[in-house]
Every structure is written in C-alpha cells, then in structure tokens.
Chains A and B, each alone.
Chain A
C-alpha cells in the first residue's frame, strides 16, 4: 500500500515536471507573441534617438493596425519632424508570404509601391529595424531554451532563436537573438541581437507593460541600445487605443494621400 502511494507520488511529480519541460522554446515564443496585442490598435508614439555624443533627434508617428482575415494591415504616418511630416507607410503583413508595402511622400504627391525586403534597415534612423516593427515568422528560427535566469527580479526563460538559413539571417540582419521571457506572464523583457559574426550588436529592453481590456498586454516603452556604437533609441507610447475604428478602406493605398 505504501509502495503504491510512493509510486503514485512519483508519477504525479514526473507528470508535473514532464509537463513543465514539455513546453518547447517555440511554444514559449508563440505564447510570448500571443501575450501582447499588435493586431488591432491605434497609437501615437515618440522615438527619441540619441547618439554616443548625446545629440538627440525626435520622431513622432501615429500608427493604426487592424486584422482582416489572415492579413494584418498597418498604416504609419509621420507627424514630425517637419521635413517628413505627412509621409505615410502602408504595410499588409501576411503570415506566410512577403509583406506588401506602399509609401506616400508629400513631395512626390503620389502613392508608390516599394520593395519590402529590407527588414534589417533601420526604422526612421533609429536603432530599431523595420523587422522589429512586425511580428517575426517563428518558422524561420530554430529555438532552444538556454536556461532560467533572474532578470530584474523576474524568473525568466532565456530562449535562443537562430535563423534557419544564412539568407534568413542576412535578411533579418542578425544571426541569433536571445529573449528573456517571464515564466508567469510570458512577457518578454529583454532581447539581445547578435550580428552575423555572432557578436552582440543590439540590446532591447521592454518595459511599462500595461494590461488591456482583452487580457493581453502592450509595452509602453522600448529601448534599443547599439552595443557597438553606444547609440540608443527609445520608443515611448504617448497614447494607445485598443482596437481600431477604421474601416478596411482606410488601410488601402488610395487612402494614404488623404
């Protein structure tokens, strides 16, 4: 009877711990992505770009994003500085194929279709890249759990994601990234990006997570630091609205020059 009880306890413990370890790095990454809201929202944000000498540049943008079927449509419109004011970017983000992108520049006075391949290009002259602005395709990475760490008082998984091919790595502009994902909430608090030679290139810290009405979270502050040249860019969300009132026609190329 006693041995039966011990056996049951061992089985329970085994099942429990087995469940814990059964969660793969990919599943953690997916849950981490699902924990934050990126599909349906509108926001006004400010990007402060500081170089190593302390010079500061400020960009202000307004963004609307909405999911239509299997495509997330997003408009980014520049509010300041004055020389780029009115410039607008429209992205149709598909899960399984390349994005469709259009740009409207007031000086050209027409909407222009553009090539969308440059994920590694910096976003608005900041340390963020175009790729950082959209959801990564998890199928492009081999992910592993490197272990557990305490980061800022939070118990986090340390997950490494390596681009499956050199082409993917070149397009992303990094060979691997290491994410610090909190175990209790699946919120990601830090990401380290390594260059194509495997050296630490950029470090992103994500903070001021706020819980939304739909149970998901949104980060109101992101800082990206370039470990090579000391530049730092900070994205602050000034105003956030869950969901978007805009109709699908507002996410069409013809709406960009309104």
Chain B
C-alpha cells in the first residue's frame, strides 16, 4: 500500500511537471540550440555598436566609443537569472576610458502570483512619457550621450518583490540598501573661473540610509492606475558649497554633489477613450530642511498630464509638465550696503555666493517659481514596413524659457544590423541649465549596431 502510494505520488509529480508548462511558456523558456538538437534553458543575446556624439561648442566629438553587450537569460522552472553586462572603450569628453558596466545582474524566483529578485535592477515607474515624478528609484547618467535614452539608466542593488493579488492588481515592494546618485557632470560646464566641483558628499553606506518603496498597480480594461510611496535619498541630488577660497582675492568656490532624503507619495493613470489615451502622473515630494540647506529642495507637487493618439500613421504624444512649490520663498538679491567697508564687502560676497548657489539648485530642481510650467511633444512614425522609424521630441519650459528639440531616424538595415542618426539642440538664456548644457550636449549622433 505504501509502495503504491509512493508510486502514485511520483507519477503525480511527473505528470504535473509535464503539464505545468504550456506550448506558449515553453517557447519562452527555451531556445533552440544552433545544431537544432534539443533546447537550452539559457539564452544569450547581445550587440556590438559604435557610437559617436559630436558637433558641440566645447568638444568636436564629445563621446566616441565602441561597446559589446552580453545579455544572458536563464529560466529554469521558476528560477530566473538575468544579466546585461557591457564592455565599453572610448573617449568621453576628451578622456580615454574603459568601462565594464553591470547594466543589470539579478537572480530570483517567479511564479504566477509571487516573484522575488535580488541584485542590480532597473525600475521604471510611471505611466507618462519621459517625465515621471513617481520614478525615484533608478538613477541616470545624463551625460552618457547615445541614440537610446535607455542607455542612461543605471541599476542599483535591491530586493524587489511582486505579489499579484488578482489578475488586475499587483503589489510591488522594493528595498535598496545603498544609495547611488544620478550622474550629471556639471564639472564640464563653463561656469566661470570661480566655480570648481569636488567629489560628491553622499550618505554613508549604512542600512539606515537605504530606501524603501512600494507600489500598488491596477490594470483594468477601462483604466490603469497606481499608488506609490518612496522613502529614501533622491538619486536626483543637489549641490552644496563645500569651500570658498578667498586667498587669490577673488572667491573660488568648490561645489559638491549633496544628496537629500525625501518621501514621495505618487499616483498615475492611463485612460483609453476611443482613439486617445489620457495619461497622468503626480507626486507629492516631502522634504525636511530645518537648517535651510541649499541642496535640499522645498516640498513640492509635481504633475504631468498627457494625451496620446494615432493619426495618419503618426503616434502623437503631447504632455504638460508642472510643479507647484508648496512653501516657496522668493530669493532676495543681496545688496552691498557700504562699498567702502571691507567687512561689508566680505559679507556681501558671502551672501552673493549663497544667493547664486541657491538659485543654481532651484534651477536643478525646477523650483524657480511657485508654479513652474513646461510642455513636450513627441511624434513618431514607422515606415518602409517598420524598417525605418522617425522620431521627433520637442520640449519647452515656459518658466525658465528653455527649449530642446531632438530628432532621430533609425534604419533597420537587416534583422541584425541597424543604424541611428539624430541630434540634440538645447537653447536657454545665460545661466540656465540648458544654457550651460547646450555647449556640450548640442550636436549630432550616429550609431551602428549589430545584434545577435
């Protein structure tokens, strides 16, 4: 009887394994080996590309590099392993550099209702396009200039878990032990001879400086929406004045990147109405700044509203991007009370440095006014049986009067070779972010990419 029971048990296990995977799933979990004999649970893909970005005022060629990417995926039952490792060599802003980048590298378990992943991952939250106030987890390298915006995303080490409460609801929980900042190379900007940049000051690698985030996502046929929460240091950091050197007579400033902690309560939605999709995303960012540090932004409410439609083969996405600063205080331009008094001059210089740097940080955080307004428009069209794809993005900040236009044309020469050509054109008044960045980031790019 016992023997019968054990045979029955083994048989049940075998049968359940046989029927546990459908044809659809097995096609995803295995790939044919090159010799056509059987299948393997490991798939390897990747690419090699050459990329050039140049034509700006400061650098003839800002970046020229060659890159090899190896993307490995293992799916064996409920076990997952994903890696995307990139080997890169080239010249970046006149510096020869070689990098090995672990774009993503994680392992985990995933079944129909629960998944858990541990390792370096990239998280993209938010339903609007390009401007996502709820997306505070993944840092970016804004100065990695290529044809593909995805290249700028940097992974960080995290424990990420998803629970599917029903077919329409999933809950995501993320714990990040250590902070990774976004990279913006303001040291490359021409901000005058009196401003230099030093190494950033970031939180100690202690668990108390880690981040926690959660999101409840609903995807119903009539509407998709989510609620999210983030508590941690913002990858999008500010700058502090670390040192002022008066020894030369002219004050020389050393600015350093400085991170700040915040909480974000966010929400987003997408509603299809006939041939349109209305998208929205909003976040209330709560910061604590009792010492009035310049690198900590005021609490604010950020919001994006968008409309997407298709017309004559074009996909059109129009968005409004706004920010309301709840506790906005005007900055007062310092006044030199007594030009003949050396002490007053020193005091004035200190006040001016503080004023200019607070203004600089407000530009970074887009908190220049109590309410700040911008808009973007993206047009894309595929033609030639999807072998060609044309894309044009335009952005204008009505508050700071900064503009950006970015055309891009991609041609899939065959199934494994593609080329992309395009450019960036930014325009802003003196001492605006786009004004500084345009000298480096204005230009054209060309990329040739072979995938396997």
Binary contact track A79-95/B, C-beta < 8 Å → 1, others 0: 11111010000001000
Find B219's partner among A58, A114, A254 (CB 8 Å cutoff): A254
Complex interface residues of chain A between 53 and 105 (CB less than 8 A to chain B) = 55, 57-58, 62-64, 75, 77, 79-83, 85, 92, 98, 100, 102
Binary contact track B268-306/A, C-beta < 8 Å → 1, others 0: 001010111100000000000000000000000000000
Asked if B34 is at the interface (CB within 8 A of a chain A CB), the reply is no
Asked if B45 is at the interface (CB within 8 A of a chain A CB), the reply is yes
Most buried by B among A43, A82, A98, A248: A82
Check A92/B112 contact, CB under 8 A, given A49-B385, A254-B170.
no
B-side contacts of A42, CB under 8 Å: 22-24
Check A253/B224 contact, CB under 8 A, given A83-B418, A126-B385, A247-B112.
yes
B-side contacts of A108, CB under 8 Å: 124, 150
User: B270 touching A258 by the CB < 8 A rule?
Assistant: no
Check A109/B124 contact, CB under 8 A, given A42-B22, A83-B418.
yes
- Interface pick from A20-28, A179-187, A188-196, A238-246: A238-246
Asked if B221 is at the interface (CB within 8 A of a chain A CB), the reply is yes
User: A111 touching B219 by the CB < 8 A rule?
Assistant: yes
A41 to B17, CA, bound (A): 20
User: Interface size (A, Cβ < 8 Å)?
Assistant: 56
Minimum CB distance partner of A111 in chain B: B219
Complex interface residues of chain B between 86 and 144 (CB less than 8 A to chain A) = 110, 112-113, 115, 122-127
User: A252 touching B308 by the CB < 8 A rule?
Assistant: no
User: A249 touching B414 by the CB < 8 A rule?
Assistant: no
Query: Whole-angstrom distance from the CB of B128 to the nearest CB of chain A?
Result: 11
User: A252 touching B385 by the CB < 8 A rule?
Assistant: no
User: A115 touching B276 by the CB < 8 A rule?
Assistant: yes
User: A125 touching B414 by the CB < 8 A rule?
Assistant: no
Binary contact track B299-325/A, C-beta < 8 Å → 1, others 0: 000000000111001010000000000
Check A252/B168 contact, CB under 8 A, given A55-B414, A102-B219, A117-B310.
yes
Minimum CB distance partner of B316 in chain A: A115
Query: Whole-angstrom distance from the CB of B41 to the nearest CB of chain A?
Result: 14
Find A122's partner among B112, B275, B386 (CB 8 Å cutoff): B386
A12 to B312, CA, bound (A): 56
What is the interface residue range for chain B against chain A? Answer: 35 or more
Asked if B246 is at the interface (CB within 8 A of a chain A CB), the reply is no
A112 to B127, CA, bound (A): 7
User: Main secondary structure on chain B at its contact with chain A?
Assistant: mixed
Query: Whole-angstrom distance from the CB of B448 to the nearest CB of chain A?
Result: 13
A-side contacts of B19, CB under 8 Å: 245
Complex interface residues of chain B between 393 and 442 (CB less than 8 A to chain A) = 412, 414-416, 418
Asked if A201 is at the interface (CB within 8 A of a chain B CB), the reply is no
A-side contacts of B47, CB under 8 Å: 82-83
Query: Whole-angstrom distance from the CB of A241 to the nearest CB of chain B?
Result: 4
A44 to B127, CA, bound (A): 31
B-side contacts of A246, CB under 8 Å: 22, 24-25
User: A82 touching B310 by the CB < 8 A rule?
Assistant: no
Find A115's partner among B45, B126, B275 (CB 8 Å cutoff): B275
Asked if A30 is at the interface (CB within 8 A of a chain B CB), the reply is no
A-side contacts of B415, CB under 8 Å: 57-58, 80-81, 83
B-side contacts of A98, CB under 8 Å: 274
User: A252 touching B310 by the CB < 8 A rule?
Assistant: no
User: B22 touching A245 by the CB < 8 A rule?
Assistant: yes
Query: Whole-angstrom distance from the CB of B71 to the nearest CB of chain A?
Result: 9
Find B164's partner among A75, A80, A125, A254 (CB 8 Å cutoff): A254
A246 to B290, CA, bound (A): 55
Binary contact track A121-148/B, C-beta < 8 Å → 1, others 0: 1101110000000000000000000000
Asked if A200 is at the interface (CB within 8 A of a chain B CB), the reply is no
A-B contact pairs, 8 of them (CB 8 A): A63-B24, A82-B46, A82-B47, A107-B150, A108-B150, A126-B385, A252-B167, A254-B168
Given contacts A124-B386, A126-B385, list 7 more A-B pairs with CB under 8 A. Answer: A42-B23, A83-B451, A125-B385, A241-B22, A249-B164, A254-B167, A254-B217
Closest 4 CB pairs of A and B: A125-B386, A62-B27, A253-B219, A64-B24
